[in-house]
Structure 1
Amino acid sequence: MNLKMLFRKRLNRSWAVDILLFLLLASVAAFMSLPLVYTLNRAFMPIDEIFAFPPRFIVGHPTFYNFKALVSIFSDSWVPLSRYVFNTFFIAIVGTVGHVIIASAAAYPLAKTNFPFRNVLFSLVVMSLMFTAYITQVPNYMTISWLGMINTYWAVLIPAFGSTLGLYLMKQFMEQIPDALIEAAKIDGASEYRIFWRIVMPIVKPAWLTLIIFSLQSLWTNGSVTSHKYIYSEQLRTVDAVFGQIASGGIARTGPVAAVTLLMMIVPITVFIVTQSNVIQTMSTSGLKE
């Protein structure tokens, strides 16, 4: 497109509509960011501002007292805060990496290989998406107990590895890769493993980056929900798991609770900001066509 066509295209657009759309989108974005702004301000509010009436949305006198109180709470505990942080990062990172690798490796033959009962297996995967965690928690507990993994990291990691959402997402995305591309790689002598790692995975990068966000957010925020069922040792609990213990301290712990809430939001938001362009591409692209 040359400059003349671009200029003519700009003349055909209504600046009033552009401004109206910009104001509308800016208003929606500002409204959606209110919870984040409130959480950020509340974490730095002194106790008198937290309980002020009418409630304050913007902090008047910022302070780090809430974070100091949080550190003080854990300094009196026989399990240090660093241990809870390590458990949280370990479960979130290992669970996410394992889920992405296993889901991608299982999705590749389902999408690009013909074998008996392939459609039946994928139908079972689709049907499993209809069952919530509350329905499967009893058989999951029995399976984890039978495997002897109660009160270990594996009790949380194994269910994360076997989540079917990632398998469904990766399979649907891999189906859009042209078969001619894979056949050409086989003619050149590439093995199935080389095709998977060097050709398929780079093409479906937006899909597995999206899967990373979903898996990391689930393990980061809901890891404690799962760990409460399987993990009883205090040394293996996550930060989110002790969140309820801090909140049970009453009104005096309101400041530290606000600080923990902010800390728990930082990692998922940071990961989403870094990978948001790939998430948008996954949602909008129709994939490659023959």
Structure 2
Amino acid sequence: MLPIKLYRSKSGIKRSFFADFGIYLFLLLFGIFMMLPMVYAISNAFKPLEEIWYFPPRFLVINPTLENFRELMIVMSDSWVPFTRYAFNTFFITVVGTVGHVIIASMCAYVLSKHKFPGQGIMFSVVVLSLMFSGAVTQIPNFMIIASLGWIDSYKALIIPAFASSLGLYLMKQFMDQMIPDAVLESARMDGASEWHIFWKVAMPMVKPAWLTLIIFSMQGLWGIGANHFIQSEELKTLNYALSQILAGGIARTGTGSAAAVMMMIVPIIVFVISQSKIIETMSASGMKE
């Protein structure tokens, strides 16, 4: 038998070379498997129409073309509202909704996590309970509330509910419980820092991985929002709604729809790639203990 040499890895655990090789090989294969849907969607965007309908279907494009993207630009330029207006609506709703959600969820989580007050446990239990309800269950009550407030057919119908998402509050609260020692906050108070200063300058930098993760979740949800129930004016429609109308053109618009799907994927992927590196970097350096 060949001797298996053990060595100490960076994590301090003694493993053989073959064990590490097997782990990395498994992660590589699993990563490739996870990328297949995205690769297939991008490949379809560059396929000519006849190649899309090959049977059996072919995974990769054989004769790449930009015709689908040209047709997409032509279709969007012929719409009642300019394409730039749909893009502006989506960017505005996504940016304002994400920033507001992160700030409000962080402020509420800081109070629930680091301050004691009557009814604190009940309030957090209500937040956890709200996570059990799907969007389909709360859709009608949300519409009734928004209609009674007079927010129908306005940006507020999409932005304000995004501020109140309970997922962000739950995520930030749990992360603050684990990552922010009470001794650090007490030291800041003894130095004369106000609660507002402590929140922005002490608490928020320590939970950077949490709000970066929250940015990804919130941005992905708002970027793909359709808003058919709350927005009637064509000038306020989102990019996802405009691109979904292309798919209603039938089989002839299949290639154009594939190009539209790739366009909707670009921004979330870029944000995820940028934020993911920051999250890993911050989490590796945020091992503070009380």
Look up the SS of the partner of 2:96 in the other structure.
helix
Distance 2:201 2:279 in 1: 21
Tell me, yes or no, if structure 1 residue 170 matches structure 2 residue 172: yes
Distance 1:288 1:139 in 2: 43
Query: Which residue of the partner structure matches residue 251 of structure 1?
Result: 251
Query: Which residue of the partner structure matches residue 75 of structure 2?
Result: 73
Tell me, yes or no, if structure 1 residue 60 matches structure 2 residue 67: no
Query: Which residue of the partner structure matches residue 142 of structure 1?
Result: 144
Query: Which residue of the partner structure matches residue 26 of structure 2?
Result: 24
| Larger helix fraction of residues | 1
Query: Which residue of the partner structure matches residue 205 of structure 2?
Result: 202
Task: Tell me which amino acid in the other structure corresponds to 1:24.
Answer: F
Distance 1:247 1:84 in 2: 16
Provide the identity percentage: 56
Query: Which residue of the partner structure matches residue 195 of structure 2?
Result: 192
CA deviations over 1:187-225 (Å, ceiling 9, x no partner)? 11110000000000000000000000010111112x11x
Look up the SS of the partner of 1:195 in the other structure.
helix
Look up the SS of the partner of 2:152 in the other structure.
coil
| Greater Cα shift, 206-215 or 77-86 | 77-86
Query: Which residue of the partner structure matches residue 9 of structure 1?
Result: 8
CA deviations over 1:164-203 (Å, ceiling 9, x no partner)? 1101111111122111111111111110000000000000
Tell me, yes or no, if structure 1 residue 270 matches structure 2 residue 270: yes
Distance 1:153 1:8 in 2: 59
Distance 1:105 1:161 in 2: 12
Per the TM alignment, residue 279 of structure 1 is displaced from its structure 2 partner at its CA by: 4.4
Gaps of 5+ in 1: 1-6
Task: Tell me which amino acid in the other structure corresponds to 1:167.
Answer: L
2:7–2:16 contact (8 Å) kept in structure 1: no
Query: Which residue of the partner structure matches residue 90 of structure 1?
Result: 92
1:166–1:211 contact (8 Å) kept in structure 2: yes
Distance 2:152 2:105 in 1: 24
1:70–1:256 contact (8 Å) kept in structure 2: yes
Look up the SS of the partner of 1:230 in the other structure.
coil
Per the TM alignment, residue 53 of structure 1 is displaced from its structure 2 partner at its CA by: 2.1
Task: Tell me which amino acid in the other structure corresponds to 2:223.
Answer: W
Query: Which residue of the partner structure matches residue 3 of structure 1?
Result: none
Task: Tell me which amino acid in the other structure corresponds to 2:212.
Answer: L
Task: Provide the TM-score with structure 1 as the length reference.
Answer: 0.91
1:207–1:282 contact (8 Å) kept in structure 2: no
Per the TM alignment, residue 277 of structure 1 is displaced from its structure 2 partner at its CA by: 3.5
Gaps of 5+ in 2: 1-5
Query: Which residue of the partner structure matches residue 4 of structure 1?
Result: none
Per the TM alignment, residue 47 of structure 1 is displaced from its structure 2 partner at its CA by: 1.0
Superposed CA RMSD: 2.1
Task: Tell me which amino acid in the other structure corresponds to 1:132.
Answer: S
Look up the SS of the partner of 1:228 in the other structure.
coil
Query: How many aligned residue pairs are there?
Result: 281
Per the TM alignment, residue 31 of structure 1 is displaced from its structure 2 partner at its CA by: 1.3
CA deviations over 1:67-99 (Å, ceiling 9, x no partner)? 110111122112011111111111111110000
The 1:202/1:151 distance shift into structure 2, 3 A limit, reads: same
Distance 2:176 2:264 in 1: 33
Query: Which residue of the partner structure matches residue 3 of structure 2?
Result: none
Per the TM alignment, residue 63 of structure 1 is displaced from its structure 2 partner at its CA by: 1.1
Distance 1:149 1:287 in 2: 44
Task: Provide the TM-score with structure 2 as the length reference.
Answer: 0.91
Task: Tell me which amino acid in the other structure corresponds to 2:111.
Answer: P
Task: Tell me which amino acid in the other structure corresponds to 1:191.
Answer: S
